[in-house]
C-alpha cells in the first residue's frame, strides 16, 4: 500500500457495519426522547484494513494496562522510492461490563483505527435523534426506569458510501423532532462541570489532551468525559 491509498480509510461505511448506543434519553411532556451515537464494529475495521492494505499489510499488538487494553496498529506503507516501513499508532479502551476482555480489545482496535482515519467521520456526525417506536430494534430505559424501544436515526447521505464523509450539520439527522424537546442529562452536566474544573486548573490537560477534552464536552460524549477525568486524577496522583 502506498501513502495515497491511506485516503481510502476515510470512506464511509454501509449502515450494516455500524452499531449504536444511546448517548442520553429522557421524558418530556409524556413523550420519550433519545439521542444515539453510531460506531463501527471491530470486524468492519478489520475488513477495511484487508481491503486497503491487504491481509498481510497490517498487524495488531494487544497488551493489558491495568483494567484497560492497549492496541498498537501497524500498517505497511510503500514509498515512491520503493522502500517500505510500518507506521504504528496506539490507543486503548477499558474492559467492558459484558465480556470484559473481548469488549476491551474490540474497543481498543476501533479507537486506534480512528487515528488512521477509519470511521473518523462518525465523530463529526455527533449524536442523532433516535426513532422511538414500539417495534424498535434496540431497547432503552430512562433514569426513571421507563423502558422503551427505538431505532437508529437515518444517516445523512454524506455519512453513507459514496458520500464525502463530512456530515451536513443541517441534515434531518441532527434536527430535533417536533414536540419532543430534550432535557439535559444530569449526569452529563455533573461530569462536564468536573472536567471543566480540570481544564481551568491548567496543570494537567495540555496539548492534545486539552483538545480531546474540549471535543468531548462539545459533543456531549459522556464516556469520553469520564475517561478524561480519570486520566486527570491519575496524573495528579503520579
Rounded CA separation 27/109 (Å): 35
Rounded CA separation 118/7 (Å): 9
pLDDT reported for residue 109: 94
Is 90 strand, coil or helix? strand
Rounded CA separation 169/81 (Å): 42
pLDDT reported for residue 212: 82
pTM of the full structure: 0.65
pLDDT reported for residue 44: 94
Sign of CA dihedral 205, 197, 143, 148: negative
| CA triple 6-103-98, angle to 5 deg | 160
| CA 195 vs CA 24, 204, 217, 230: distances in Å | 18, 11, 8, 10
Rounded CA separation 110/46 (Å): 9
pLDDT reported for residue 77: 93
What averages of pLDDT result for each successive group of 10 residues across the chain (238 residues)?
90 90 86 89 94 95 90 93 92 81 89 93 80 90 91 84 57 50 64 83 77 78 86 78
pLDDT reported for residue 116: 95
pLDDT reported for residue 173: 52
Amino acid at each position: 500500500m502506498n501513502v495515497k491509498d491511506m485516503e481510502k480509510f476515510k470512506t464511509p461505511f454501509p449502515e450494516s457495519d455500524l452499531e449504536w448506543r444511546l448517548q442520553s434519553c429522557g421524558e418530556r411532556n409524556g413523550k420519550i426522547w433519545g439521542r444515539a451515537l453510531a460506531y463501527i464494529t471491530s470486524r468492519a475495521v478489520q475488513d477495511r484494513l484487508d481491503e486497503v492494505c491487504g491481509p498481510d499489510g497490517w498487524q495488531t499488538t494487544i497488551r493489558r494496562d491495568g483494567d484497560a487494553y492497549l492496541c498498537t496498529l501497524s500498517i505497511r506503507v510503500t514509498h515512491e522510492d520503493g522502500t517500505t516501513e510500518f507506521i504504528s499508532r496506539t490507543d486503548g479502551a477499558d474492559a467492558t461490563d459484558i465480556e470484559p476482555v473481548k469488549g476491551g480489545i474490540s474497543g481498543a482496535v476501533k479507537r486506534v483505527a480512528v487515528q488512521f482515519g477509519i470511521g473518523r467521520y462518525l465523530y463529526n456526525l455527533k449524536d442523532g435523534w433516535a426513532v422511538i417506536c414500539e417495534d424498535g430494534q434496540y431497547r432503552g430505559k430512562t433514569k426513571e426506569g421507563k423502558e422503551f424501544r427505538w431505532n437508529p436515526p437515518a444517516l445523512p447521505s454524506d455519512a453513507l458510501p459514496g458520500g464525502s464523509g463530512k456530515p451536513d450539520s443541517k441534515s434531518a439527522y441532527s434536527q430535533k423532532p417536533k414536540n419532543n424537546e430534550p432535557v439535559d442529562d444530569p449526569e452529563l452536566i455533573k461530569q462536564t462541570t468536573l472536567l471543566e474544573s480540570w481544564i481551568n486548573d491548567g496543570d494537567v490537560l495540555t496539548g492534545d489532551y486539552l483538545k480531546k477534552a474540549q471535543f468531548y464536552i462539545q459533543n456531549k460524549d459522556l464516556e469520553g468525559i469520564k475517561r478524561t477525568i480519570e486520566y486527570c486524577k491519575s496524573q495528579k496522583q503520579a
